[in-house]
Amino acid sequence: MGLRDDIERYREVGEDRRQDLAEFIQYGDLGQSLPDEIHIPIKIVDLPAFEYDQRDQGGVGQGQDGAPDVGEPVGQPQPGDGDEEGEPGEEGGEHEYYEMDPEEFAQELDDELGLDLEPKGKRVVEEKEGEYTDITRTGPASTLDFDRLFKSGLKRKLAMDFDEEYVRAMLKVDEMDPESVFRWAREENIPVSRAWIEDAYAGLTNGERSEYESVEAMESVIDRTPTADRIRKEGIEDIPFRREDERYRYPETIEEKERNVVVVNIRDVSGSMREKKRELVERTFTPLDWYLTGKYDNAEFVYIAHDADAWEVSREEFFGIRSGGGTRISSAYELAAQLLEEYPWSDWNRYVFAAGDSENSSNDTSERVIPMMEQIDANLHAYVETQPSGNAINATHAEEVDRHFGESESVAVAYVTSPGDIVNAIYTILSTESNE
């Protein structure tokens, strides 16, 4: 036990107490998070106690240069008394966050929504060296497979070896000559060459050539020794290493496919997109971005704002922009198609998410947007309609897209009228993608 355990337990308790993910997405403070570090408020950090209602309690402040005038706003309540040991004036304790990285977020969302998106590897980024299990006939000396060379040599030796004394003794049998010994050896599978026999025969004196009367007489005197015994007894003087037995080890090649994703976020920033609608878009898109960041090795984001025209913006600007003007959604898809050229379909997973209040200039949806959606290769196209007050007349973009693509596995349409719909919308979008 000890503090290490206490810290561990705190993490576990904190995890239990962090705000429910769905609740966080709908109502939580998304702004505290960074793209690669999601901060989820822990609902109740410390143990509850009988406390005063904070608002009803009010408090005491101290002005920097004398007291401010009565009636002046003081901003957020100033920090209360420090905890027993707290450094004065550094009370940040009101907000406690549970930190998650996007991988964990994606995992949690999968668990929560019952999703199971397996990202596809696309571009081959690397041919990595795997285990040294492949073999070639040439290579640097250091990769020479000596075990293998030795074994081959040994096999070769065993295959070539024969009991020389015995063969020589056979030549000493009166009735045998080199020709008959060779035939005998072949029958007995003794790996001896004709030349060796000839040489050996030539080396024998005449007396020796008829030392034994018969094969039987010779065999009663000389024992044939099997190769293995002989090697054991005499050892191997030399192993016949041959060039042709050399093998060099070589690493296996593994193709590493990076799981790349590019996400295009498109948002209608025209005059009709008021604060509530804007917030709904942010609440829908932000978790989607986190989710895909967590799922893929490498995630790139493209942000497109549009009214009647479209332009690329940074993430920081994306959710804040407002402009006047009308709406022409196809302008955004034209720009998206252009920007996506940098992310070839062969190498990249692509997601194109658009959001708006479904208002569009007449015929733009059917004549331009739908054909472009068909044309732009993507894992998934999605349109999120944010209409807090229900449907407006003329706001038919989502409906038209929905009708055209129907149950398509690469186009999703989701409707968000209040924060309560967001989690459903996210589910609709993420569960649409076909996992072939």
Partner 1 sequence: MSKPSTDRADKQRIAEELEPVVREAHALAKKLGLDPYPVNYWVVDYDEMNALVAYNGFQKRYPHWRWGMTYDQQRKQRQFLGGKAYELVNNDSPAHAFLQESNAMADQKAVITHVAAHSDFFANNQWYGLFADEPNAARMLASHADTIESYMDDPEIDREAVEKWIDNVLCLEDCIDQHQPFSTVDDWLDETPSEADINEKLEELELSEEVLGQVFDEEWLDQQRETEGVASFPVEPENDLISFLRTHGMGYDEGAEKAVEFEDWQREIMELLRREAYYFAPQKMTKVLNEGWAAYWESIMMGEEGFAAESEFIHYADHQAKVLGSPGFNPYKLGKELWEYVENVTNRREVVEHVLRTEGVTWRNFHDTVDLDDVLESLDPDPIVDRVASETIDQLDPEDPRVDAAGLERAKAGEIDVDRFPWKVFTYDGIAERHYSLAKPQNRGFLSQLTQNDVERIARYMFDDARYTSIEEALENVDYRAGWNRMYEIRESHNDVTFLDEFLTQEFVEEHGYFTYEYMETTEDYRVTSTDVADVKKKLMLQFSNFGKPTVVVEDGNYNNRNELLLAHQYNGVMLDIEQAHQVLKRVFKLWGHPVNLKTIVKELSENDIEVARRRDSEPTPEETGKLLRYDGENLSITDIPWKEVEHLAATDVDYDTKPDDWLA
Report in angstroms how near the CB of residue 283 gets to partner 1 at its nearest: 23
Spell out the residues 6+ positions from residue 129 whose beta carbon is closer than 8 angstroms to its own: 251, 252, 253, 254
Q: Report how far apart, in Å, the C-alpha atoms of 379 and of each of 79, 146, 190, 305, 339 are.
A: 50, 51, 70, 21, 16
Q: Are the beta carbons of 328 and 308 closer than 8 angstroms?
A: yes
Report in angstroms how near the CB of residue 282 gets to partner 1 at its nearest: 23
C-alpha triplet 383, 282, 416: angle, nearest 5° = 50
Report in angstroms how near the CB of residue 45 gets to partner 1 at its nearest: 7
Nearer to partner 1, 55 or 233 (CB): 55
Nearer to partner 1, 68 or 344 (CB): 68
CA distance 395 to 415: 12
Torsion-angle region of 71 (φ positive above 0: left; ψ -120 to 50: alpha; else: beta): left
Report in angstroms how near the CB of residue 43 gets to partner 1 at its nearest: 11
Report in angstroms how near the CB of residue 29 gets to partner 1 at its nearest: 17
What phi and psi values does residue 119 have, to the nearest 5 degrees?
A: -70, 145
What phi and psi values does residue 385 have, to the nearest 5 degrees?
A: -90, 125
Report in angstroms how near the CB of residue 422 gets to partner 1 at its nearest: 25
Nearer to partner 1, 90 or 131 (CB): 90
CA distance 290 to 100: 10
Nearer to partner 1, 10 or 146 (CB): 10
Nearer to partner 1, 53 or 118 (CB): 53
DSSP annotation string for 375-435: HS--SEEEEEEE-TTSPPTTB-HHHHHHHHHTT-SSEEEEEESSGGGHHHHHHHHHHHS--
Report in angstroms how near the CB of residue 157 gets to partner 1 at its nearest: 57
Structure tokens at 280: 């709904």
Report in angstroms how near the CB of residue 40 gets to partner 1 at its nearest: 15
Report in angstroms how near the CB of residue 344 gets to partner 1 at its nearest: 44
Query: Hey, is 248 helix, strand or coil?
Result: strand
Contacts with partner 1 by CB under 8 A lie at: 1-3, 5-14, 44-90, 92-93, 96
What phi and psi values does residue 263 have, to the nearest 5 degrees?
A: -115, 125
Which amino acid type is present at position 215? V
Report in angstroms how near the CB of residue 53 gets to partner 1 at its nearest: 5
Nearer to partner 1, 89 or 235 (CB): 89
Nearest alpha carbon to residue 200 among 234, 175, 177: 177
Strand order in the sheet with 310-313: 310-313, 298-306, 260-268, 349-356, 380-386, 411-416
Nearer to partner 1, 71 or 235 (CB): 71
Nearer to partner 1, 11 or 322 (CB): 11
Nearer to partner 1, 70 or 141 (CB): 70
Of the chain, the end-to-end C-alpha distance in Å amounts to: 49
Report in angstroms how near the CB of residue 397 gets to partner 1 at its nearest: 37
CA distance 425 to 287: 11
Nearer to partner 1, 47 or 202 (CB): 47
Nearer to partner 1, 59 or 371 (CB): 59
Cross-strand pairs, 306: 268, 310
